[in-house]
Chain A
Amino acid sequence: MVTVLFSNAQSRYTNGDTSIQVDAKRVDQLVRLLVERYAELEDILEHAAVSVDGVIHNDALYVPLPDSVEVQFVGAVAGGSGEAVSEALLSTSSNVLREAQVWLEAGRSVAVATVIETWGSSPCPAGSQLIVDADGHFEGSVSGGCVEGAVIEKACEVLAQGEPAILEFGVADEEAWSVGLACGGRVKIYVEQLL
């Protein structure tokens, strides 16, 4: 067994997992097992340098993994190249619906929240989307953070009850201040379950 640690940026593709145990004897085997589990990690894993107990291998595919080592996939730094290839550089598109598909394929129930109307100053334009699973894991944004919490809460209800909902947040609402929409705008959000 080896322990794999994921960075915050990587944990976007691991359902939030930051550490897992995997039974793998070599890096290629480990990558195969991780991709089976987290499909979206593939690009990152294939092109990252690999740290095995702190020793960083640039070309790691066939590097053996002794029992109980700690493994991380990190940006490769070739001193001369000038570019640290972070996992970020190689991460896949930001399309939340693509992500939603991955979640669905993994057997998770997914709700999508879509901004359908805005007025005045609102951080995300109509069409912006946020996806939420039953455990409250989310991806994307409908307000840059202002009302995310309330939307996620509602999305969990939508998943539990199966009924879509339209949410409105505006500066006139008392609730707007409490949920954080302090910028003076108004936003209407449609929340539905993806099937």
Chain B
Amino acid sequence: MSADTNEGQERKFKRIGTRPIRHDGLDKVTGRARFGADYALPGMLHGVMVRSPYAHARILSIDISQAEKVPGVRAVVTRDDFPDVPIGWIPAGSTGVDLGANARTVMAREKVLFHGHAFAAVAATTELAAREAGKLIKVEWEVLTPVLSLEQALAKDAPILHEGQETKGDHPTPEGDSNIANQVCFEGGDIAAGFEEADVIVEGHFETPMVHQGYIEPHACLANVREDGTCEVWCPTQGAFGVKGEVASIAGIEPSLVKVTPTEIGGGFGGKIPVYIEPVAVVLSRKAARPVKITMSREEVFRGSGPTSGSRMWARIGAKSDGTFVAVETKFDFEAGAFRGSPVGAACMTVFSPYNCENFRIFGRDIVLNKPRVAAYRAPGAPIGAFAAESLIDELAMKLDRNPIDLRIQNAVAEGDRAKYGPRFGTIGFKEVLEATRSHPHYKAELGPNQGRGVAAGFWFNAGMQSSATVSVNDDGSAVVRTGNPDIGGSRASMALMCAEELGVDVARVRPLVGDTDSVGYCDPTGGSRVTYATGMAVIEATRQVVDHLRARAATIWDIELDAVEWQDGNAVAINGSAEKGSMSLEDIARKMRLTGGPIVSSASVNPPAAGPGFGVHVCDLEVDPETGVSKVIRYTVVQDAGKAIHPTYVEGQYQGGAAQGIGWALNEEYLWDAEGKVENAGFLDYRIPVASDLPMIDTVIVEVANPLHPYGVRGVGETPIVPPLGAVANAMRHATGIRFHRLPMSPPRVLDALDSDGASS
């Protein structure tokens, strides 16, 4: 599968690009689809997590004796029931994992590091009994001063979260133990000379709050450890193989004994890659010798899972009077939460890479503090950095009296230009996307009073990674395509479409399945915008092998050479000297499989390089009520390069979903903390994500600049759509109110304050 098989530009597709109803649609709309919390087993116990009342405290001792006596309680577990996995980064290829940190996130060991950090769990015959028992667990705490802001984390005498944690990364690093876990720096050219040369400089300090992914389905899982030591887990996850590995390490079980079945999943956005409750359910089940189910409440989801980093940023751009960027610089501080691993690295890699500029210094720090440990969230880090960069570009356009899209086109990267993180871009569609935005009717529409229009751009890398697929032919000529990637955004329909395209059959004749870890080849998680690209590549490869089998079977039946059989749209066709044989349908061949060698099944596995960047540009029209500070998005358009849209409806769904999440991040979403580090708004009533009535129909434009690395040109689309909205909404706010907001969210009270004080508090 490489460039020589690429047909993305020329091939006339019959089924790719059509919009069939998703295979799981009926089950979803009738409520039959089974999500995590829908699974149950006979004799099942209910497990609950017991969570820390402190944001930072050392655990001196835990006494579970009273809790164990509560009627109905079958098991109480603490750190003592889990192996002590050492903290430390274990490289695996070019990525890696810190299993010790993961184990401590699931079950606190030496310390609790955030309010709501689990330190025990109980399984009982009823959830009520388990909760009562949880209250009777006695802990001797040494309460420590919590570190609740970046300022506090960086203070000279700051309490250190992790004794022995020295700053890694690019120099100069501070000496000794530090809450700065890592530093990243990308440099090029001569930054001082660049700014010297600039005619105009724009700069600003920006802040974004910690926000949650907000997936609608809370985490849930069912685990059953059996007498023979084998272990089954059912859970909504983005990667069942990842859960298998983490459960094995954290619970202390041989990986070969663990089987994980991914259930239907109600959103993940990166937040369902890590495990929170699965190893605990397994340990409870092992101790109680009964199946155990744990379901997190929404409140627990907010306190104990997700989120993504809050940030404090400074950035500046120097430009010539003709608009050419000559120097860009950033300093980013990102909240990692309880353990290292904020997405500041990706923020640094993405922030100014869409624009050519020789002189740059991009610096970022990953900082731990006593808040929930961050997890991946859709294009991790990129929206945060883009908020700063795209706000400044808008300022620059105003200063230079330039059209903001023209200014971006002037500086935009194209094939052969270098990203700030080093490599040259391959085939990308940034300029095409910018031009499509400029000529869109939305961009030319009139605005009314109190309305403003904002534009912003962004991109995401789009991963490759490992995937497997198996395609089998049924004796009626229908087919089954099986992969290990949980379907979050409609991927089953896309897998079926690619299989149907190669086979030349109606997509309704292809049944797509997501398998468990014992029944499919290894697949990396559904994430990184990789599934349609990488898993799709495995599906195409496996289907092409099936087609070769079908041709061979036809050749056997006709008693001619394989070379004399072509596959044309669902039929074997005899060619060359054998043309008189005519053609034979897939159904005919399938019916005779028993006579020609038995079942036809093919599998393929891939580990392709990263798909390469997909660029997007968003246009937002915002209307602000000057009396109340309430703002409303009145029109919104997403333009993005998909490479090739396999199922356009689900591509559009990704565009709309990312925009909606980004609008929420810009306008309303934030964790509110009390003085002790407790989240005060751990529910959707007070943590306000946009609902359908808050948003207009989000318009979409799919640009297709084929990706040469995929046989159909697929690029991956899931993450880019959340990168531009923060900047697009802030820029719209600027033009609606005349006020530049440097701090998110731009919630009504903040907007009203700023309007009342003439922009002074923004």
Contact = CB atoms under 8 A, between A and B. Distances in A.
Q: Pick from B95, B187, B421, B524 the residue with the most CB of A within 10 Å.
A: B95
B126 interface: no
A131 B133 CA distance: 61
16 contacts: A12-B171, A55-B609, A55-B610, A57-B609, A59-B607, A76-B95, A77-B345, A80-B380, A82-B343, A84-B349, A86-B169, A86-B182, A88-B185, A90-B168, A94-B173, A144-B172
Contact of A82 (B96, B184, B376, B421): B376
Interface in B457-500: 460-465
Interface string B625-638: 00000000000000
- Majority DSSP secondary structure for residues of A touching B: loop
Nearest to A83: B341
Contacts of B462: 79
Interface stretch (B4-12, B50-58, B423-431, B538-546): B423-431
Interface stretch (A44-52, A151-159, A187-195): A44-52
Given A88-B169, A91-B169, 5 more contacts: A55-B612, A79-B529, A82-B341, A82-B374, A86-B170
Contacts of A53: 424, 426
A54 B424 contact: yes
Contacts of B376: 79-82
A9 interface: yes
A47 B96 contact: yes
A8 interface: yes
B527 interface: yes
B425 A54 contact: yes
Contacts of B527: 78-81
Given A55-B709, A57-B609, A9 B528 contact: no
Contact of B609 (A58, A72, A89, A91): A58
List 5 tightest A-B contacts by C-beta distance, closest first.
A79-B528, A80-B527, A84-B345, A88-B169, A82-B376
Secondary structure at the B interface, as helix, strand, loop or mixed, is loop
A5 B612 contact: no
B185 A82 contact: no
Given A77-B461, A86-B170, A48 B94 contact: yes
Nearest to A92: B168
Contacts of B609: 55-58
A194 B463 CA distance: 47
A159 B101 CA distance: 47
B513 to A, nearest CB: 22
Contacts of A7: 186-187, 421-422
A170 interface: no
Nearest to B349: A84
Contact of B170 (A47, A84, A91): A91
B10 to A, nearest CB: 21
A90 B465 contact: no
A26 B524 CA distance: 25
B381 interface: yes
A101 to B, nearest CB: 18
Nearest to B425: A54
A60 interface: yes
Name, among A8, A51, A79, the residue most crowded by chain B CB atoms within 10 Å (CB to CB).
A79
